[in-house]
């Protein structure tokens, strides 16, 4: 795997991943829970940040995908490293802020922490949702240079709400793909990671694409990988994924994360960035820089 020591390049790919996540979230939220046919009848091809949808969002407004990512990133920066209780406290503060949308499994896990202070959900066969996968980008950026730290922190934040081996596998695979790309890796590097995931968990097979877009983490990963590997630009990837409907905000967010890391910040259409909530954009840009070029990043470099 080719890795780059170019700090400016790493930063623009990290910002591309984080802004891509938010743009994909905002784009997809408009058509969440719609079918491809319903989207086609309403929009032709949905390709602009117009808000609306079942949540009645403002243009450029994001949902829990981006908001929980920001809460996780703030916790890492506050603790100057990954500290699960700090993460839990930030998730709790986010829930108390009355966000526009909260997934059931995330709400249940945060509620459990509020009641008894426990930091891990018990295994639940029904918890193979995509809620832990959608928010893990700050962990990938924080532990960009340390595989073991990345895996450990990813699973800990995952199990706070989602304790299921398929959720674990998805979080690790998409996170490893993102880390590889931010460090200068290629689409072929990502394909090797995707193939390794499918080799261990055949249920994640995405060729031929099954065309399921629910919040089940397998459907999410299949949709995201299908869009990522069959398109050649940031915009084409996101437009293809969100127009498949279903859990379009999370699918769009994760596709935007990968595409943004591959193509870089400059590839994100200006019209989308102009519409993105300016407060969210400012927080993302600050976090991305702090996570990959700030004191935490320098600590990894000094240790190496």
The whole-number average pLDDT for the span 232-236 is: 98
Neighbouring CB atoms inside 10 A of 74's CB total 20
Q: List residues bridging with 129 in a β-sheet.
A: 216
Task: Check whether 5 has a pLDDT greater than 70.
Answer: no
Predicted local distance difference test score (pLDDT) of residue 301? 55
Mean pLDDT score across all residues of the chain: 95
Give the confidence band of 299 by pLDDT, cuts at 50, 70, 90.
low
Give the confidence band of 1 by pLDDT, cuts at 50, 70, 90.
very low
Task: Record the tokens describing residue 168, joined without a space.
Answer: 């674990």
Predicted local distance difference test score (pLDDT) of residue 300? 57
Predicted local distance difference test score (pLDDT) of residue 6? 86
Cis omega (within 30 of 0) for bond into 155: no
pLDDT in tens, 36-86: 999 999 999 999 999 999 999 999 999 999 999 999 999 999 999 999 999
Cβ-count burial of 43 within 10 angstroms (0-12 exposed, 13-18 middle, 19+ buried)? middle
Predicted local distance difference test score (pLDDT) of residue 225? 98
Helix ranges (H only) for the chain are 7-29, 36-43, 64-79, 84-96, 104-116, 137-142, 147-161, 165-182, 187-200, 217-229, 234-242, 248-263, 270-275, 278-293, 295-303
Predicted local distance difference test score (pLDDT) of residue 298? 62
pLDDT in tens, 12-29: 999 999 999 999 999 999
pLDDT in tens, 117-149: 999 999 989 899 999 999 999 999 999 999 999
Q: Tell me the whole-structure pTM to 2 decimals.
A: 0.95
Predicted local distance difference test score (pLDDT) of residue 2? 42
Task: Check whether 268 has a pLDDT greater than 70.
Answer: yes
Give 134's DSSP letter: G
């Amino acid at each position: 795997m080719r890795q780059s020591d170019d700090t400016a390049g790493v930063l623009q790919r990290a910002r591309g991943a984080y802004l891509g996540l938010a743009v994909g979230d905002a784009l997809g939220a408009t058509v969440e829970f719609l079918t491809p046919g319903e989207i086609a009848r309403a929009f032709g091809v949905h390709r602009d940040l117009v808000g609306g949808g079942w949540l009645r969002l403002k243009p450029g407004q994001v949902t829990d995908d981006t908001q929980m990512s920001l809460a996780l990133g703030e916790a890492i920066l506050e603790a100057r490293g990954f500290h699960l209780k700090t993460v839990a406290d930030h998730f709790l503060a986010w829930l108390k802020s009355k966000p526009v949308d909260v997934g059931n499994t995330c709400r249940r896990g945060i509620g459990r922490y509020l009641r008894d202070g426990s930091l891990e959900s018990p295994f639940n066969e029904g918890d193979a949702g995509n809620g832990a996968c959608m928010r893990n980008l700050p962990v990938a950026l924080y532990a960009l240079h340390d595989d073991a730290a990345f895996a450990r922190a990813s699973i800990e934040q995952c199990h706070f709400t989602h304790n299921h081996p398929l959720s674990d596998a998805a979080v690790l695979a998409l996170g490893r793909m993102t880390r590889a790309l931010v460090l200068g890796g290629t689409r072929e590097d990502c394909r090797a990671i995707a193939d390794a995931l499918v080799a261990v968990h055949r249920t994640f097979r995405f060729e031929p694409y099954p065309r399921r877009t629910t919040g089940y983490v397998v459907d999410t990963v299949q949709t995201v990988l299908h869009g990522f590997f069959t398109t050649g630009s940031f915009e084409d990837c996101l437009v293809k994924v969100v127009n498949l409907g279903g859990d379009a905000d999370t699918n769009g967010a994760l596709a935007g994360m990968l595409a943004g890391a591959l193509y870089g910040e400059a590839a994100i259409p200006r019209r989308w960035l102009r519409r993105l909530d300016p407060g969210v954009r400012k927080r993302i840009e600050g976090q991305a820089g702090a996570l990959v070029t700030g004191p935490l990043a320098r600590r990894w470099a000094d240790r190496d």
